[in-house]
Structure 1
Amino acid sequence: MSAVVAIAIFIISYFFIMTEKINRALVALSGGVLLLLTGIYQWEDAYTHYIDWNTIALLFSMMVLVSITKKTGLFEFIAITFAQRVHGDPIPLLVGCSILTALGSALLDNVTTVLLFVPIVLTLTRLLQLPAFPYLLTIIFSANIGGTATLIGDPPNIMIGQAVEHLTFLSFIVHLGPVVVLLFAVMMFSIILLFRNKLQKNEDRIDQLMELDGTTYLKKTPMLYQSVTVLLLTITGFLLHPVFHIELTTVAVAGALLLLLLTDQEAGTEKVFQEVEWITLFFFIGLFMLVGGLEKVGVIDELARGIMMLTEGDLPFTALLILWTAGLFSGIIDNIPFVAAMIPVVKEFQSYGMANLDPLWWSLALGACLGGNGTLIGASANVVVAGLAEGNGQRIPFIRFLCYGIPLVILSLIVSTVYIYFRYLVPFQQGL
């Protein structure tokens, strides 16, 4: 009975999130509270097990860093300089933003990257009077695809890397890098093909752009240098994570607190806190609670066990089923609990005589990371971009995103299937 209740609450909440008739954070939190009222789990369980406070703290910290840095005019300066380099041409601008987002997501993590890039993109589209939706859509897709390439790019990869000792930072690049580059190229070609008619030059705005002096937007006060220094130190801390093994959340919180202390007189801590995207943070809390309900009643575990029983230890079948199951479900529920449930299941396949589980790990990573492009709540980066965009008057409709996200996920999974099959499964079947 509890499973039926948890599933019903999840589906009803998901329906209202999709229709966007009620604030999504309010819907998600209401669903979470219903799980508490119906006794699916206790508040202590939600607080200690299901709400990922590391993600919440990381998001909050990066929002603080970005909020303070934004006050210095740095994002306007970067946006103007970058736009002038491509002479305000909308398509090269789109490609450049996408490449930078993908690289940033691979080297940092996709949530941090979109927090840094979205303010720049919104500034550019406003300046050149371009539609923001194609750029925001591409940033989400680029972040999730780029984050797939490395161990630290996306939470599922971090979890897999921690669970399997021999999968190093270099292993992820070598095994996932090639297909990520291919998928990125396919995505960019598709986006340009779809939006080429809407991305037209506005010669008047371009002339005005080329006459601008980006340095005039910089507020050359101590806060500018403090913001840049702390932001660079925080990013360096992210990059050195594999060396010092300091949690990314710890680095982000330390950076945010340091910058708040340094800029308290100039920026005002209370004003900074007022500019944090609280709706996005509370939506995450509610979403974690909703998915936690499914996890509590065993829905996710049953799904994992079902995969194991269905494949009966056949490696090619198992790898492709994990790829597609992870890809399709990651667009509906958060990929973090799904991957957490799948890790012990994949390890258990050793009892079926599988000596090499690596194809299964790569299938799980590709499916979980790429599947996040399916819906607006499929990945953390999606929710963050939607929150930032809405805060700037550029709301991304759930259904409209779905119309582009689902086809991309299907296409990505088809490409990944071919890649997994020929790189890993054909050699396995040939006994190589």
Structure 2
Amino acid sequence: MIAYLVGFVFVITYIFLITEKWNRVLASLSGGVCMLLIGAYSIEKALFTYIDWKTITLLFSMMLIVTVTSKTGFFEYLAIVLAQLVHGNGVALLIVFALLSAIGSAFLANVTVAMLLVPILFTLIKILNIPAIPFLVIMILSCNIGGTATLIGDPPNMMIGQAVEHFTFNAFIVNLLPISAVILLVTILFLSLAYRKRLVVSPQNQLKLKRLKPRSYLQKDKGLVVSLSVLLVVLIGFALHPILHLDVTTVALAGAVLLLGLLERTYQPEQLLKDIEWGTLFFFIGLFMLVGGLEESGFIDEVAREILMLTEGDMKTTAFVILWGTGILSAIIDNIPFVAAMIPVIQEFKEFGMVNMDPLWWSLALGACLGGNGTLLGSSSNLVIVGLAAKEKVKIQFKEYLVIGIPITILSLAISTLYVYFKYIKPFF
């Protein structure tokens, strides 16, 4: 009976998350609390087994560091400088924002980068009098592609990194950065050709951009040097994980606390904490509890057995099923809850005798992050960009986005299939 109730709660919660008929945070937390009320597991098990506090702490720490850095005007300064370097050329500016979104998402989490760059984008397009949609679309795509490249770039990668002990910060860069770069290059080429006629900037508007003074956006009295220094130290700490043997969560938390201490006179810690995206963190907490119910009921074990039966335990087939299955489903639903559900499924494969697990984990990461580009509902950063655009009275049509998002997603997954096969599967056999 409990198993049926767990399945019912999970499905109903997912319907609310997909349709967005209810606030995502409330839906997630309500689903998690319902798991407790129906007796799926105890509160002690929820707190000490199913809620991944390491992932929550990593997200919180990076949010805090980026929140402080954003107050210094550094990101606005960087965007305007880069725009002036390309002399306000529309296509070149499209490429600049694609690169900014991708590189920023690789190291600062794509949701945060989206929140930082969209307001900057609207400042520039008002000056240049060009349409926002091409830039918003390429930012959505680039945020997800860039977030694929590193451990901290996209929440699914954080979750996978916490689940697999030997997947360090450097391991993600070595394994996912090359394929992410190739897919980003293909995406930029595709969109530059698709939108080139809509991105013509008049000489008068180019002159407006030229007259802007980027330095006027920098606010040194708000901790510019300190925040950039701490951010750099944290990123170096991530890269030196194999030498220092410090968990990335420990490094990020230490950096956040250090930054609060160094800038205590500039920013009251209580004020900075108000700017944290608490809704995202509680969304994760509810999600972990929700998926915990599936694991407790034995549903996860059954899914693992079904996939093994479908693939007959063949590593190549299993990797491709995970890659494409995750990619397609992540385009339809938010990739975070799906990855949360899939992690224990893949862990079960080891119990069934599968030796080389890495191709499965990398396939999950690629499918989840790249599949998020399929629709506007596929990733948290997609929804953030859509929401910020709506505030500026710019609506991204769902159907209009699909014309770009679906082909890019299919192409990305096809490239990833070749990559997984030649890098992991063929050498193993």
Q: State the TM-score, normalized to the length of structure 2.
A: 0.80
Distance 1:231 1:177, change over 3 A: closer
- Percent identical among aligned pairs is 46
Aligned match of 1:255? 255
Amino acid at match of 2:409: V
Aligned match of 1:225? 225
Larger CA deviation: 238-247 vs 152-161:
152-161
**How do residues 6-405 of structure 1 correspond to structure 2 at under 5 angstroms?**
6-106=6-106, 108=107, 111=109, 114-116=111-113, 118-129=115-126, 134-149=134-149, 156=157, 159=160, 163=164, 176=176, 178-193=178-193, 195-196=195-196, 199-201=199-201, 204-221=204-221, 223-331=223-331, 332=333, 333-345=337-349, 348-350=352-354, 359-360=359-360, 362-374=362-374, 378=378, 385=384, 389=388, 403=402, 405=405
3-state SS, counterpart of residue 246 of structure 1: coil
- Looking at structure 1, the residues matched to 146 and 349 of structure 2 have their Cα atoms a distance apart, in angstroms, of 27
Q: Conserved in 1, the CA contact under 8 Å of 2:101 and 2:143?
A: yes
For structure 1, the 5+ residue unaligned runs are: none
Q: Conserved in 1, the CA contact under 8 Å of 2:133 and 2:396?
A: no
3-state SS, counterpart of residue 220 of structure 2: coil
Q: Deviations over 1:87-112 (max 9, x none)?
A: 22333223223234434555x4x62x
Q: Deviations over 1:270-295 (max 9, x none)?
A: 22222222222222323333333333
3-state SS, counterpart of residue 13 of structure 1: helix
CA RMSD in angstroms comes to: 3.8
Q: Conserved in 1, the CA contact under 8 Å of 2:149 and 2:172?
A: yes
Q: State the TM-score, normalized to the length of structure 1.
A: 0.80
Deviation at 1:342, TM superposition (A): 0.6
Q: Conserved in 1, the CA contact under 8 Å of 2:144 and 2:369?
A: yes
Does structure 1 residue 414 correspond to structure 2 residue 414?
Answer: yes
Larger CA deviation: 17-26 vs 226-235:
17-26
Q: Conserved in 2, the CA contact under 8 Å of 1:334 and 1:378?
A: no
Distance 1:122 1:174, change over 3 A: same
Q: Deviations over 1:210-230 (max 9, x none)?
A: 101111222232622222222
3-state SS, counterpart of residue 345 of structure 2: helix
Distance 1:244 1:132, change over 3 A: farther
Aligned length: 420
3-state SS, counterpart of residue 265 of structure 2: helix
Larger CA deviation: 194-203 vs 183-192:
194-203
Distance 1:162 1:132, change over 3 A: same
Amino acid at match of 2:295: E
Amino acid at match of 2:275: E
Distance 1:216 1:87, change over 3 A: same
For structure 2, the 5+ residue unaligned runs are: none
- Looking at structure 1, the residues matched to 168 and 237 of structure 2 have their Cα atoms a distance apart, in angstroms, of 18
Amino acid at match of 1:293: G
Amino acid at match of 1:338: M
Distance 1:43 1:182, change over 3 A: same
Deviation at 1:86, TM superposition (A): 1.8
3-state SS, counterpart of residue 263 of structure 2: helix
